[in-house]
């Protein structure tokens, strides 16, 4: 696995030199809200504030997409990922795709 410290949203990894660029890696998750979760979230909107049911769903979905991206990079032989981004698209009502992507690299500490 690639440690969290070897991933970044920037395009360089401080203190490391790139020895190989392995290309784009991604993790894709498609999730739907359950009927119960949607009902609970609707009730929370009546009160206002943070809608915790949806916050938790979004956080879990992003983490799962990130983990899949890490696995994809590790399978390619990478030890780092730069330029990490997230994107989300509503595929159909109540169904969302979350994409996490970046550039997989092989890096070594600078001398």
The per-residue DSSP string of 56-95 comes to: HHHHHHHHHHHHHHHHHHHHHT-SEEEEEEEEEEEEETTE
Domain that holds residue 67: 4-109
- Does 51 score more than 70 pLDDT? no
Q: Is the pLDDT of residue 53 over 80?
A: no
Instruction: Report residue 43's pLDDT band, with 50, 70 and 90 as the boundaries.
Output: low
Domain count for the chain, please give it.
1
User: Which pLDDT score is estimated for 38?
Assistant: 58
Q: What pLDDT score does 39 carry?
A: 61
pLDDT at 93: 83
The CATH number of whichever domain residue 12 belongs to comes to: 3.30.110.70
């Amino acid at each position: 696995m690639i440690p969290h410290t070897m991933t970044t949203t920037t395009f360089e990894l401080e203190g490391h030199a790139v020895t190989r660029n392995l290309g784009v890696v991604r993790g894709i998750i498609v999730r739907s809200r359950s009927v119960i979760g949607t009902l609970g979230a609707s009730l929370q909107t009546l009160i206002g504030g943070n809608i915790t049911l949806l916050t938790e769903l979004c956080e879990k979905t992003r983490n799962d997409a990130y983990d899949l991206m890490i696995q994809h990079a590790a399978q390619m032989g990478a030890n780092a990922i730069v330029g990490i981004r997230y994107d989300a698209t509503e595929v159909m009502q109540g169904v969302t795709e979350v994409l996490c992507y970046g550039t997989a690299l092989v890096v070594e500490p600078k001398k």
